[in-house]
Amino acid sequence: MKKNTLFILLTFLICITKFSASHAQEADSKMDWFQQAKLGIFIHWGIYSVNGIDESWSFFNDYISYEDYMKQAEGFTASNYDPEKWAKLIKESGAKYAVLTAKHHDGMALWDTQASDLSVVQKTPAKKDLVTPFMDALEKEGIKKGIYFSVLDWSHPDYDRQTRSTYRYKNDPERFRKFTDFNFEQLEELSTQFNPDLYWFDGDWEHKPEEWRSAELKKKLLSHNPNLIINSRLGPGFGDYATPEQGVPVARPQSEFWELCMTMNNSWGYQGNDHAYKSPSELLRIFVDCLHMGGNLLMDFGPKPDGSIPEEAEHILKEFGRWTSKHESAIYNTQAGIPDGHVYAPTTLSPDKTILYIYLDYKVNESLAIKGLKNKIQRVWVVGNGTKLQAREVGKMYWSAVPGMKYIDIPDNVYDKDITVIAVLLDGPVDLYREHGQVIESN
C-alpha cells in the first residue's frame, strides 16, 4: 500500500514538473519577438497636445481646471494625420514594435468606442477613429502592434477619483465594479478590433490588483490572443516584463525581460515649448546601455494636435535608422554583454556567445584594451564597415592563470559619427577571468 502511494506521489510530481516546464517554454517562446525587437516607439497622442500641457496630470494636479482641460477637444483636428507615414518612419528607425495611447488617464478614447461617448470621434473635430488606420499601417509594415490603455479613468462617473483632492465616492465596491465592467468592455473592443501583440497598461497604483480584477482581466485578454504580451502595470505577478521609466538603469533590472520607456525631450505628449530634445547620439547611447543589459528601449514622441510629427522627432527617428541599419547584426540578434570592468564600453554577445560586440562612443587612446578575456581572438572587424582590425595580447605569464591584456588597434577612419561597433570573434563561447589575480609561487 505504501509503495502504491509513493508511486502515485512520484507520478504526480513528475507530471507537475513537466507541466511547469512546458508552460515556462511557452512563455519564453511568446517573448522571443519582444526580446529580439530591442527598439520600440511610444506615441502619446491626445487632446493635451492642443495646449501643450501635461497629459491628464495637469488637471489631476490642479494646474488647470477639468473643464478647461476638456475644452482642448475643440482644437484636436487630426487634419494632417498620416498613419502610413508614421509607420514608415517607425520602420525606418529600426523599431520592431510601436505602442499608441488608445486611452490616457483623461478617459478620451482615440477609437470609436461604444462603451461611452468620450472619444475623439464624438467630442473633437477629428470625428474619426484614429487607432484603426495606425494599426493597419503597422501591420502592413510588419511592425508589432502595441496599445496603451489606462486602467484608471479620471473622467468616468463610476471611477472614485477625479483630481488629487476630489473623490466622487469612497469605499463603494459595487460602484467600482461598474467601472471595471466598463474597462472590460473597452478592452474587449480593442482586442476584437485590433488584436494587439502587446498591451501597455498604466495607472494601476490607485487600486489593488483584486480591485482591478487583474487575474480575470488577464485571462480574458489571453483568450483573444494566447501570445499576447502584457507589461508589468496590472499589479505584481500579472505582467510579462518590467517597465522602468525615464531614468536609465545602472544595474540590470531583475526581470528576465524588460524595457526602458523614455521621452525624446522631457514630455510624453506634444508640448510646443519643450525644446529640450536629446540629441540622436545621446539617445543612441541610452539605447546601447539597454542592449548591454539585455533590455529594450521604448522611445517616445508626441504628435501635434493635427497629427503631424514634430521635426525634431522625425530627425531623431531618421538618425536612428541610419545607425540601426548600419549595425543591424550587432543589435537584434544579440543578448546582454559581459560584466562591466573588462572593457571600458558597453557590450553585447551573439546567441552562441562567440562574438563579442563592443560599442564605442569615443575614440580610444592608441588602442582598445580588453582585460580578463581567456579566449583567443580569431578575428576583429568594424561592424557596418567590414574593415579588419589587428588584435594582440600583452603581459601573459606562462605560469599564471590570469590572461594577458588584449589590445585592438582602431584607425581614425573607421569611426562612426555616433557609436562605433567592434566585433570580436572568439575561439569559443566567451570565457572570462573573474578572480582576484595571483602571485608567483614557482618559476
What is the overall mean pLDDT for the chain?
93
Please report, as a single letter, which amino acid is at residue 43. I
Res. 3: pLDDT tops 60: no
Largest CA distance in the chain: 85
Provide the whole-model pTM: 0.91
CA distance 19 to 428: 34
Mean pLDDT of 9-31: 54
Q: Cell numbers at residue 45, please?
A: 497622442
Which grid cell sits at 383? 561592424
Residue 1 has pLDDT above 60, yes or no: no
The answer to whether the beta carbons of residues 378 and 426 sit under 8 Å apart is: yes
The answer to whether the CB of 241 falls within 8 A of the CB of 201 is: no
Burial grade of 281 (CB within 10 A; 0-12, 13-18, 19 or more)? middle
Give pLDDT, residue 435. 85
Which range is least confidently modeled, 45-59, 207-221, 243-257, 333-347?
243-257
- Given a cut of 50, whether residue 88 has pLDDT beyond it is yes
Asked if the model's pLDDT at residue 417 lies above 90, the reply is yes
Residues 6+ apart with CB under 8 A from 154: 56, 59, 60, 105, 106, 107, 161, 162, 163
Long-range contacts of 366-370 (CB under 8 A, 24+ apart): 366/409, 367/407, 367/408, 367/409, 367/410, 368/343, 368/407, 368/408, 368/410, 368/422, 369/343, 369/344, 369/405, 369/406, 369/407, 370/342, 370/343, 370/405, 370/406, 370/407, 370/408, 370/424
pLDDT tens figures, 240-274: 999 999 988 898 998 999 999 999 999 999 999 99
Q: What percent of the chain has pLDDT over 70?
A: 92
**Side-chain-facing half-sphere of 119: CA atoms under 13 Å:** 18
Q: Could you report the per-residue pLDDT of 343-359, keeping only the tens digit for each?
A: 999 999 999 999 999 99
pLDDT of residue 26: 53
Q: What pLDDT score was predicted for residue 18?
A: 47
Q: Which residue has the higher pLDDT, 17 or 349?
A: 349
Q: Is the pLDDT of residue 177 over 90?
A: yes
Q: For residue range 158-175, what is the model confidence (pLDDT) as tens digits?
A: 999 999 999 999 999 999
Q: Examine the pLDDT at 12 and tell me if it is beyond 60.
A: no
